[in-house]
Amino acid sequence: MRNADDKTEQIIAAFDEGLSVAEISAAFGISSDAIHSRLERAGIASKHQERLSKEEQEKVNRERIIAMVRKGFRTTTIATMTGMSLPKVRGLVKKSYIITQDHGGNEVLIPRHEKNRIERPRNKWWLFRQRRS
């Protein structure tokens, strides 16, 4: 029984150090559900705390990525700099920007609030002129 108590204390110490449950389960060779149950028996609401910390981390990442987009970085560059996967970065950027390509094949990010604005073409302008009643 002493061995199980020692292991529980080590798990609690590792969790307090900031390791995730997945990392702890890999280190101790125990399933993540068993680690969650040990932490909850010890009085630590691990699943709830982990979910909150993950949400905060995602919020910080989203703000960082949008700030980088505003500075003019492309999604591939942002993915390389942050270490996130390209589909995940593109998914975050798509929420507030339209991702298109210009004639040269370069990526262009258009803010979503400008997507409904229709520009009058310079050629055939008479087709788009305002009608006066």
Residue 47: pLDDT above 70?
no
Which band of pLDDT confidence, cut at 50, 70 and 90, is reported for residue 55? confident
Domain regions of the chain by residue span: 2-44, 53-113
- Reading the block at residue 57, the tokens are 């981390």
Residue 21: pLDDT above 80?
yes
Global pTM reads 0.49
Separation between Cα atoms, residue 24 and residue 46, nearest integer Å:
12
Better-predicted residue by pLDDT, 82 or 133: 82
Residue 1: pLDDT above 60?
no
CATH, domain 53-113, list 3.30.70, 1.10.3470, 1.10.10, 3.40.50: 1.10.10
Residue 116: pLDDT above 70?
no
Please provide the DSSP assignment of 39-57 as one string: HHHTT--HHHHHHHHHHHH
